[in-house]
Amino acid sequence: SQELEQSPQSLIVQEGKNLTINCTSSKTLYGLYWYKQKYGEGLIFLMMLQKGGEEKSHEKITAKLDEKKQQSSLHITASQPSHAGIYLCGAARDNYGQNFVFGPGTRLSVLP
């Protein structure tokens, strides 16, 4: 069964707009990862969050993990066409960092 849910499934935004992608679990997450992927290609690691309330930023992308460690959001500021792709959240099922599962992904298109 799918243990991670993502919303929205797909997103089309105009270049320069901000956007947010959410990742939700019914169980406590042991390490939440965000990846970007162009379908059929490898995963590009974006960020990893481990502590409740943690927030990390890299360039125009910010990711947050809520205090309960059951929900994470990925926020892109002033989106660019280069941000287009599939964003996947992933998390470990246990505290040893193994038994990894992925969310279904969010397909992002950025219109120039």
Partner 1 sequence: GAVVSQHPSRVICKSGTSVKIECRSLDFQATTMFWYRQFPKKSLMLMATSNEGSKATYEQGVEKDKFLINHASLTLSTLTVTSAHPEDSSFYICSASRANEQFFGPGTRLTVL
Give min distance, CB of 100 to partner 1, in A: 5
Under the criterion CB under 8 A, does residue 102 sit at the interface with partner 1?
yes
Candidates 49, 84, 105, 110; binder of partner 1 (CB under 8 A) is: 105
Under the criterion CB under 8 A, does residue 12 sit at the interface with partner 1?
no
Ranges within 13-72 binding partner 1 (CB under 8 A): 31, 33, 35, 39-43, 45, 48
Nearer to partner 1 (CB atom), residue 18 or residue 99: 99
Looking at this protein, which amino acid is placed at residue 103? G
Rounded Cα gap, residues 64 and 56, in angstroms = 7
Among 105, 102, 107, which Cα is nearest to 4's?
A: 102
CA dihedral 74, 76, 81, 85 (to 10 degrees): 0
